[in-house]
Amino acid sequence: METDHQLVLPVIDLANFPKELEKLAAAATGLGSFRIVNHGMSPMLTEEMKIVTRSLFKLPAEARRRSVNDNIHGGGYISLSELRFLEAFSIYDASSMTDIHTFCSLLDTTTQQRCDLKVYSEIISAYIEKLHDVVVNVARKVAESVGYILADFSFDEWPCLARLNFFNFKVEEDIGCIGVPAHTDSGFLSVLQEDVSVGGLEIMNSNGNFVSIDPVPGTLIVNIGDVGKVVKVWSNGRLQNAKHRVICKDAKSRISINMFLLAAKDDKVETEAIFVDSEHPRIYQTFILSEYRKLRDTSGFRAGEILPLL
C-alpha cells in the first residue's frame, strides 16, 4: 500500500519458498525494498544487540576513535563531525570472526570496560554470524527470483560490512532535520534492523517522493543496492536499487544496525552472462567496487547517479 506520505513495504516470508519467489521478484525489481519475516533472528539476540549498540556509543571518545581504520573504505568509527547527527561503528569484513574480535579489542580502556567488551564481543559475534546467514539466504533468494540458477555459485564468501548507527537527535528543533541524506547503498543488498521505538526511515516511492516507513517489530528490512543496480549491474538492470534517507521524527536518540553484502571477494562487479542476450544487451561495464564507492564519496553523488556512466 502506497500514499504520498506513507509506504507499507512488501513482506516476504522466508519460510514460504519457493511460493514467495514471484512476490520477491516483484519487490526486488520494483521498489527495491521489502521486509522479511521468519528470518531466524531470535528476539532475545536482537534485543541484546540493541543494548550493546547503545552501550558502545557511551564509551569515552578516545576509545571510540581507536576503531578508526583509514585503510578500509567505510571501516571503523564515523564521528559526529562527519555527519551532524550520526555516529557509527563499522566492522569490515563482518563475515570474519577475526575482524569482529579485532574491532572489540580496540575499544577497551579500563578493566571494567574490558570485562564489558568481552560480553559485548560474544553478543556481537553471535548476532553478526546469524545476520550473515540471513544476508546470504536473502541474496540467494533474490538471485533465484530473477532466474539465476545458483548450482555453482555462492554468496557465502562475499565480504560484508556491518554498521552500528547512533542518531543523536535530542531537541524539538531537530525534528525534520536530515540524519542521513538521500542515498542508495553501494553493495549488492543490505539487511536492516530498525529502531522499533523511533521511526525516521524514508524510501523514495514510484512517484519520486520520499515517504515514511513505520517500524514493524520482528521484521528486517532489505534494500537492494547499486551492485543490485550494481546489483543492477550484476543483473543487467533487472533489480532496482532503493533510494532512502533518515529524517528526525522525534526528539530522542535512534539506533539501527545494518549488514551490507558488498561484492565478490575479488571486488569485481560484472554482469552475469545469464542476464545478457539479444533482447537484453549488456548495459554496464565491469568495475571495481572499492573504487566505485570512493568515487561516490568524492563526487558527492551517493544515490546511483554515477551508474549511467559505467
| Cβ pair 209, 28 in contact under 8 A | no
Sort strands 33-37 and 11-13 into parallel, antiparallel or unpaired: parallel
Cell output for 130: 546469524
Q: Which amino acid is at 242?
A: A
Which residues, in sequence order, are CB contacts of 201 under 8 Å at separation 6+?
192, 194, 212, 213, 215, 221, 244, 245, 246, 256
Instruction: Indicate whether 67 pLDDT > 60.
Output: yes
pLDDT in tens, 136-183: 999 999 988 887 765 567 888 888 889 999 999 999 999 999 999 898
Least confident piece of the model among 55-69, 187-201, 235-249, 279-293: 279-293
User: Rounded to an integer, what distance in angstroms lies between the CA atom of residue 303 and that of residue 184?
Assistant: 5
| Cβ pair 248, 84 in contact under 8 A | no
Confidence of residue 232 (pLDDT cuts 50, 70, 90): very low
pLDDT in tens, 177-212: 999 989 888 888 999 999 999 999 999 998 889 999
| Cβ pair 215, 177 in contact under 8 A | no
- How many other C-beta atoms lie within 10 A of the C-beta of residue 160? 26
Please report the pLDDT score of residue 188 as a whole number: 87
Instruction: Indicate whether 230 pLDDT > 50.
Output: no
Which SS3 state, helix, strand or coil, does residue 263 take? coil
What's the average model confidence in pLDDT over 293-298? 70
Please say whether the dihedral angle defined by the alpha carbons of residues 152, 265, 156 and 161, taken in this order, is positive or negative: negative
Please report the pLDDT score of residue 309 as a whole number: 58
Please report the pLDDT score of residue 241 as a whole number: 86
What's the average model confidence in pLDDT over 52-78? 74
Q: What is the pTM of this model?
A: 0.84
What's the average model confidence in pLDDT over 260-288? 72
Please report the pLDDT score of residue 21 as a whole number: 94
Confidence of residue 50 (pLDDT cuts 50, 70, 90): very high
| Cβ pair 249, 199 in contact under 8 A | yes
Please report the pLDDT score of residue 65 as a whole number: 79
Please write down the long-range contacts of 60-63, taking CB distance under 8 Å and 24 or more positions apart: 60/109, 62/109, 63/107, 63/108, 63/109, 63/113
